[in-house]
Amino acid sequence: EADIYQTPRYLVIGTGKKITLECSQTMGHDKMYWYQQDPGMELHLIHYSYGVNSTEKGDLSSESTVSRIRTEHFPLTLESARPSHTSQYLCASSDPTRGYQETQYFGPGTRLLVL
Amino acid sequence: DQQVKQNSPSLSVQEGRISILNCDYTNSMFDYFLWYKKYPAEGPTFLISISSIKDKNEDGRFTVFLNKSAKHLSLHIVPSQPGDSAVYFCAASLYGQNFVFGPGTRLSVLP
């Protein structure tokens, strides 16, 4: 069973506000990911990290930024929220030492609504 | 262009019968395949996986079949239970990199 946490679970916020979505894992996984998912659509990778001080942009362009100062923590920040940012944000982590059998474990997600 | 496809957006099955969820992929280099289950307002939960060197992997009621020549995999759930009602995502990766997810299939198991 994976231990990965996201807060808040739900967030309703006005346009222009700065928000930070928190993600923490207690498994010591080096790799962490942020996905964005709209209802009925596939998961789109927006950011990932191979370890501390490593961050990369994913396949889907996003105005959000991430940081990785500690192994267990991978927060995502939106400097100025817009209605187009309304979506579900999913954080995941994986253990790269498993090689090709690496499995991603997901947090419960944050459902964001920007008014 | 989707590298991982799940052509059935939804599937309804009677309780106790078999559920078969299908997934097709385009990249023959993928070497690891996973199925995730997702309830509304929750994150995906890892269900079962299969490496490209196998053609079948079984875990309780769940069995995944891989047909590499057809670039096709399927998830069988037997017997289906109402609690299995969820969205099922197929995912593929290449040596732990570049996880690609399909759009999901919504399974409804009817009592």
- pLDDT band of residue B1 (cuts 50, 70, 90) is low
Which among B43, B46, B103 has the least Cβ separation from residue A42?
Answer: B103
The reply to whether A107 touches chain B by the CB within 8 Å rule is: yes
- Which residues of chain A does B93 touch, with a Cβ-Cβ cutoff of 8 Å? 100, 102
Cβ-based burial of B16 (10 A; exposed 0-12, middle 13-18, buried ≥19): exposed
What phi and psi, each to the nearest 5 degrees, are found at residue A84? -70, -15
The reply to whether B1 touches chain A by the CB within 8 Å rule is: no
A24-81 residue pLDDT tens: 999 999 999 999 998 878 889 999 999 999 999 988 878 899 999 999 999 999 999 9
Residue B97: which residues within 8 A CB-CB, separation 6 or more?
none
